[in-house]
């Protein structure tokens, strides 16, 4: 095979998404009446599903194509699968919401496709330039869909805030990248690792810090989390689900990849940064969420905390730690999507409500929904035998194996604190006076909530497939 | 002092001075004009380095498009810059402290700067004789870097879609010219004959 067809074959999901986004854009422009959604969302779901299936065609543990810009490996395919599931479910959740809020323009699924393409390119990035372009493609599309409800002041504010801070973080990351390039004379991750050879010079450390700061912004971990609550609250709910699910997968994936492939020689340097942000994120995620009354805001703090837990696995810096991160992200994805399906079911009449008090007495008005949401909350809190417990068990176990006892202890303590606000939601649903009854959610939303809950509840009986897939993925990175 | 060195000091001195004036000028239009001067001098520096393609792109893109756009924005938007400056003194201590910290860090980077052995070789690489900058870029842009090139294209497309989605409003009441409709007009649809009786008024 020539190198071009080889490269195209290895980036088949990306090619599919790019061509799909372009064709759907044309279809929408020429055939969608008044710019309404028409069938573009459905077609976009088909394109995402196609890209997901193409991941299984991938062979070989690791192939680098496109002149060292793109790597196709088991690790990448695992994380791409998670990101694609996140996007796909986001689109399924969005259709009913967008139509009711009268923002069902055909550009939304197209932008989701482009953002997903950016995520896939980001996950597979093998040099700093590919990393930056993937990151920008993802972020630009995300800025726009955050402000997609343009007549809503809070959505516009969310979009603008995300854009301004995102541009700043991109600038910091580029500065770090330029320092790294100036030091090593190459932008490829492997070239960087070869040039560093275990000597942490000033240039490398500065570059590392700035690049990690830019990526930490995308992961929304402390101290780069300030935008998260406002953007999560202001953006349309399906968009928030997208931010909390697929976007996080890509950001965590590239952080793990760049640390493991470009900086394996300077473990002491990056490890202290990761430990620092992990501890701060876990603590802030646990304490700041306690006083929240808006459930989307609460989920924002919850996601900050969960990123902290996931980074505990990365801080271990071992293959077992990376496997823990992968398992954590997979379980976090299911919990987040399920919870947002629950939030999207909170509709009284024609208006979507977001207050925690709106859930009062849900057990009496809608028993099954209360049960599923309670399962989500208990799993997010990490209570056995639900999946969330195993996720935490994997990362803390890895941290202990790597002798990071204080980190593991702080993690367990903050997850105990976090239990408070998850359990409060369960208490509100089961023991408070009943509030207004929710309208019947669409079939798709209920199905996502139910399916996610079943996965969470029954994960304990059959963890082997995820465990094996994550182990194979982590192995390909080392 | 050679001619090249003289031009280097000329361009850099004017560039630093005009960069300072960008933030010091009271009138925002003057700021943008100084910014353009800084760009032009930067492109002069690139010319001295033998990077004529980058020099021309800097003028064409930054002066021709970006700076002129800035100028439009500054002139069109009714921003009270005097009011914006009011907090200047208030934030000066904190701002200058952050500035000093950053400056110290930059000095640290510069002093402690070492390069990997691998980085020395590409820095000394010269272009083959007879290949201009533009040709050299063309040789790799669509071959070696085709992936990055296509990715940049998608980034720009996303920006375009975003700008249109967020700003375009379809107004159904606006009358637009449709040539086909104009050509399809017939006498029957366009003219109405009325019989006006004499001396009866209308």
Chain A residue with Cα closest to B162: A144
pLDDT of A464 strictly over 60: yes
Residues A403 and A444 in one domain: yes
Q: How far is B193 from chain A (nearest CA, A)?
A: 38
Residues A437 and A309 in one domain: yes
B residues 134-193 near A, CB within 8 Å? 144-148, 150-152, 154-155, 157-159, 161-162, 164-166, 170
Instruction: Assign B95 a pLDDT band (cuts: 50, 70, 90).
Output: confident
Q: Which of A22, A25, A206, A208 to mutate to test the interface with B (most CBs of B within 10 A)?
A: A206
> Pick from A35, A136, A183: which is nearest to B116 by CB?
A183
Q: Specify if A204 maps to a domain.
A: no
Residues A249 and A314 in one domain: no
The residue-averaged pLDDT of A384-405 equals 93
Instruction: Burial-class residue B8 by CB neighbours within 10 Å (0-12, 13-18, 19+).
Output: middle
pLDDT of A269 strictly over 60: yes
pLDDT of B196 strictly over 90: no
Q: Specify if A192 maps to a domain.
A: no
Q: Does A117 touch chain B (CB under 8 A)?
A: yes
Residues A19 and A87 in one domain: yes
Q: Specify if A252 maps to a domain.
A: yes
The answer to whether the CB atoms of A144 and B119 lie below 8 A apart is no
Output A133 or A350, whichever has higher pLDDT.
Answer: A133
Residues A228 and A271 in one domain: no
How far apart are alpha carbons A393 and A313 in whole angstroms? Answer: 10
Per-residue model confidence as pLDDT tens digits over A217-249 = 999 998 999 999 999 999 999 999 999 999 999
Helix (H) or strand (E) holding A299: helix A295-316
Q: How far is A148 from chain B (nearest CA, A)?
A: 7
Residue A91's closest CA among A301, A273, A245, A312? A245
pLDDT of A34 strictly over 80: no
Q: Specify if A165 maps to a domain.
A: no
Q: Which pLDDT belongs to residue B127?
A: 62
Q: Specify if A201 maps to a domain.
A: no
Residues A136 and A284 in one domain: no
Cα-trace Rg, chain A: 21
Residue A221's closest CA among A177, A271, A292, A283? A283
Q: What DSSP line would sit under A312-341, residue for residue? A: HHHHH-SHHHHHHHHHHHHHHHHHHHHHHH
Q: Which pLDDT belongs to residue A45?
A: 95
Listed residues A256, A276, A301: the one ending a domain: A256
Helix (H) or strand (E) holding A62: strand A62-65
Q: Which residues of A touch B116 (CB under 8 A)?
A: 183-185, 195-197
Q: Which of A17, A185, A213, A263 to mutate to test the interface with B (most CBs of B within 10 A)?
A: A185
Residues A55 and A149 in one domain: yes
Q: How far is B176 from chain A (nearest CA, A)?
A: 16
% residues pLDDT > 70 (chain A): 100
The answer to whether the CB atoms of B118 and A144 lie below 8 A apart is no
The domain total for chain A is 2
Residues A247 and A271 in one domain: no
Residues A60 and A99 in one domain: yes
Q: Specify if A210 maps to a domain.
A: no
Q: Does A70 touch chain B (CB under 8 A)?
A: yes
Q: Which pLDDT belongs to residue A235?
A: 94
Domain that holds residue A2: 1-159+223-256
Residues ≥6 apart with Cβ < 8 Å to A254: A122, A123, A125, A131, A134, A135, A215
pLDDT of B6 strictly over 90: yes
* Cα first-last separation, chain A: 28
Residues ≥6 apart with Cβ < 8 Å to B160: none
How far apart are alpha carbons A392 and A382 in whole angstroms? Answer: 7
Structure tokens at B197: 């009786």
Q: Specify if A177 maps to a domain.
A: no
Q: Specify if A302 maps to a domain.
A: yes
Per-residue model confidence as pLDDT tens digits over B115-173 = 777 777 766 666 677 788 888 888 888 888 999 999 999 999 999 999 999 988 877 77
Chain B residue with Cα closest to A181: B119
Chain B residue with Cα closest to A11: B147
Q: How far is A415 from chain B (nearest CA, A)?
A: 36
Instruction: Assign A253 a pLDDT band (cuts: 50, 70, 90).
Output: very high
Q: Is the peptide bond before B168 cis (omega within 30 degrees of 0)?
A: no
Listed residues A256, A279, A312: the one ending a domain: A256
Q: pTM for this structure?
A: 0.90
Residues A367 and A249 in one domain: no
Under 8 Å CB pairs connecting chains A and B tally to 109
Q: Does B98 touch chain A (CB under 8 A)?
A: no
> Pick from A18, A67, A185: which is nearest to B118 by CB?
A185
Residues A250 and A108 in one domain: yes
CA atoms within 13 A on the CB side of A162: 32
Q: How far is B96 from chain A (nearest CA, A)?
A: 19
Residues A392 and A277 in one domain: yes
Per-residue model confidence as pLDDT tens digits over A309-366 = 999 999 998 999 999 999 999 999 999 999 999 999 999 988 899 999 999 989 998 8
> Pick from A105, A141, A206: which is nearest to B158 by CB?
A141
Q: Which pLDDT belongs to residue A228?
A: 94
Listed residues A210, A231, A256: the one ending a domain: A256
A367-381 and A405-431 helices, crossing angle to 10°: 160
């Amino acid at each position: 095979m020539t190198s071009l067809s080889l490269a195209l074959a290895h980036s088949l999901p990306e090619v599919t998404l790019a061509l799909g986004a372009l064709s759907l854009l044309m279809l929408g422009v020429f055939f969608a009446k008044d710019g309404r959604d028409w069938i573009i969302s459905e077609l976009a779901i088909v394109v995402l599903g196609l890209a997901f299936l193409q991941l299984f065609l991938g062979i070989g543990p690791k192939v680098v194509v496109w002149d060292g810009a793109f790597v196709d490996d088991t690790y990448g395919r695992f994380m791409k699968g998670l990101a694609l599931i996140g996007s796909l479910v986001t689109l399924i959740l969005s259709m009913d919401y967008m139509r009711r809020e009268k923002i069902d323009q055909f550009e939304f699924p197209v932008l989701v496709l482009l953002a997903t393409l950016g995520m896939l390119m980001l996950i597979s990035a093998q040099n700093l330039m590919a990393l930056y372009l993937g990151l920008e493609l993802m972020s630009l599309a995300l800025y726009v869909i955050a402000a997609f409800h343009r007549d809503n002041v809070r959505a516009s504010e969310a979009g603008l805030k995300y854009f301004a801070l995102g541009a700043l973080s991109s600038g910091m990351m580029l500065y770090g990248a330029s320092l790294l390039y100036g030091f090593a004379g190459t932008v490829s991750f492997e070239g960087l690792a070869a040039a560093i050879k275990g000597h942490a010079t000033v240039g490398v450390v500065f570059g590392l810090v700035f690049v990690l700061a830019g990526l930490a912004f995308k992961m929304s971990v402390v101290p780069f989390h300030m935008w998260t609550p406002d953007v999560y609250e202001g953006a349309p709910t399906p968009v928030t689900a997208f931010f909390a699910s697929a976007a996080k997968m890509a950001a965590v994936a590239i952080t793990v990849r760049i640390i493991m492939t470009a900086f394996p020689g300077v473990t002491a340097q990056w490890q202290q940064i990761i430990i620092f942000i992990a501890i701060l994120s876990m603590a802030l995620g646990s304490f700041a969420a306690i006083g929240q009354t808006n459930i989307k805001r609460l989920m924002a703090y919850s996601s900050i905390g969960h990123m902290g837990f996931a980074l505990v696995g990365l801080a271990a810096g071992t293959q077992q730690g990376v496997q823990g991160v992968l398992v954590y992200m997979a379980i976090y994805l299911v919990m987040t999507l399920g919870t947002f399906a629950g939030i999207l079911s909170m509709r009284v009449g024609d208006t979507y409500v977001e207050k925690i008090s709106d859930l009062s007495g849900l057990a009496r008005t809608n028993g099954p929904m209360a049960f599923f949401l309670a399962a989500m909350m208990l799993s997010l809190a990490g209570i056995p035998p639900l999946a969330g417990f195993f996720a935490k068990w994997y990362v803390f176990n890895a941290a202990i194996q790597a002798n990071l006892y204080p980190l593991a202890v702080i993690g367990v303590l903050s997850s105990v604190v976090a239990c408070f606000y998850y359990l409060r939601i369960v208490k509100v649903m089961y023991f408070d006076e009943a509030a207004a009854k929710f309208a019947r959610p669409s079939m798709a939303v209920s199905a996502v909530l139910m399916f996610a809950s079943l996965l969470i509840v029954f994960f304990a009986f059959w963890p082997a497939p995820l465990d094996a897939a994550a182990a194979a993925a982590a192995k390909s990175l080392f | 002092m050679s001619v090249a060195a003289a031009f280097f000091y000329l361009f850099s001195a004017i560039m630093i001075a005009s960069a300072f004036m960008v933030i010091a000028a009271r009138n925002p239009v003057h700021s943008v004009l100084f910014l353009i001067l800084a760009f032009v001098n930067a492109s002069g520096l690139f010319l001295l380095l033998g990077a004529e393609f980058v020099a021309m792109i800097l003028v064409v893109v930054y002066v021709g498009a970006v700076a002129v756009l800035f100028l439009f924005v500054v002139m069109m938007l009714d921003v009270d810059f005097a009011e914006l400056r009011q907090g200047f003194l208030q934030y000066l201590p904190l701002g200058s402290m952050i500035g000093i910290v950053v400056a110290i860090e930059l000095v640290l980077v510069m002093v402690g700067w070492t390069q990997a052995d691998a980085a020395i070789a590409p820095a000394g690489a010269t272009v083959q004789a007879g290949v201009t900058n533009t040709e050299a870029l063309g040789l790799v842009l669509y071959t070696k870097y085709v992936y990055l090139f296509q990715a940049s294209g998608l980034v720009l497309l996303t920006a375009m879609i975003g700008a249109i989605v967020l700003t375009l409003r379809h107004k159904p009441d606006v009358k637009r010219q449709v040539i086909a409709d104009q050509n399809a007009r017939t006498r029957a649809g366009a003219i109405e004959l009325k019989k006006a009786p004499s001396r009866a008024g209308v």
